[in-house]
Amino acid sequence: MDGEERLAEGGPIVNVAWLRDHLEKRGVRVIDGRPAGSYAAAHIPGALNWDLYALKLRRSDAAEVHRFIAEAEAAPRRLGVRSGERVVCYEDVAGTLAARGVWLLDYLGHDGGAMLDGGLLAWVAADGPLTRDVPEPTPSDFRAVPQSDLLATSDELRTAIEADASLTLLDTRNEVEHTVGAIPRLVHMEWTHHLNPDGTLRSPTTLRRLYAEAGLPSEQDHRVIAYCASGFRAAHAYVVLRALGYANVANYAPSWGEWVRRPDLPVSVAEVDED
């Protein structure tokens, strides 16, 4: 992480030192969010595999959200996730899969999710051990209690745009995607700006400055809805903004993949300077 300042421990971020100190403690569960093949090659001892990229929400209508919840709650139950546990999600770096795991746990009503800053690369750089051993968890009775304010829908966004409501839409996609088409009334901040070159998160001071320069209001109760193409990069912004103290952040998980397929929804296209 750039500088000495770090995002606060105890929120949606933990670092390698914290995980090493708590790895074998009761009430701490570690989730490897990478594909099964990567997990099988080597992982943090005690970690359980949840391929987070395989779980997607393609639309925000009630029927599809209901299907998504049913599918999403099955994995924590299978992995033995229980209420009150600290559930640390990681991948190779402090990336979008780990962030998606944190957002999912929050949305499902489990308030203990955290992303490992720097991911597996930071763990290895700190001489953290690796293993191929696969634990056999005891399934839990986990049941989702969906937190509807953490999942934005296309209807909410359209209503907000039409009513000029006080919220900010945050586009976390890259510049090319943003230029081709976007949801109106937004702030643009590509998610990779959250990271240092080594895959750790940048300092809170740097992140706040970048968001201020992008135009995000500083009021921490301000409603922010992040989106990308399918809700993974948006989940990264959700975690970072939560760690920065923003208390009213949501993920429009179907994101541009749903929005652009709806002819009834407005799209803005950036003006290109031809000179």
Q: Cα(188)–Cα(172) distance, rounded to whole angstroms?
A: 6
Q: 3: how many CB neighbours lie within 10 A of its CB?
A: 11
Nearest to 249 by CA among 130, 143, 168, 144: 168
Q: Has residue 271 got a pLDDT over 70?
A: no
Q: Is 24 left (phi over 0), alpha (psi -120 to 50) or beta?
A: alpha
User: Could you tell me what percentage of the chain is helix, strand and coil, using 3-state DSSP and rounding each to the nearest 5?
Assistant: 35, 15, 50
The confidence score (pLDDT) of residue 7 equals: 62
Q: Has residue 272 got a pLDDT over 50?
A: no
Domains of the chain: 13-147 (3.40.250.10), 149-259 (3.40.250.10)
Q: Give me the chain's average pLDDT, please.
A: 93
Q: Cα(200)–Cα(195) distance, rounded to whole angstroms?
A: 6
Span of 55-64, 78-87, 214-223, 266-275 with lowest mean pLDDT: 266-275
The confidence score (pLDDT) of residue 274 equals: 45
What is the DSSP-derived secondary structure letter of residue 195?
B
Q: Alpha helices, DSSP H only, in the chain? A: 16-22, 36-41, 62-78, 96-107, 119-125, 154-163, 175-180, 204-214, 232-243, 255-259
> Does the predicted TM-score (pTM) go above 0.85?
yes
Rg (alpha carbons) of the chain, rounded to whole number: 18
HSE-CB of 59 using CA atoms within 13 angstroms:
8
Spatial CB neighbours of 10, under 8 Å, sequence gap ≥ 6:
none
Give the pLDDT confidence of 122-181 residue by residue, as tens digits.
999 999 999 999 999 999 999 999 999 999 999 999 998 888 778 999 999 999 999 999
HSE-CB of 25 using CA atoms within 13 angstroms:
12
Q: Is 126 left (phi over 0), alpha (psi -120 to 50) or beta?
A: alpha
Q: Has residue 3 got a pLDDT over 50?
A: no
Note whether 33 and 91 are within 8 A (CB).
yes
Only one residue has tokens 């989940």, namely: 235
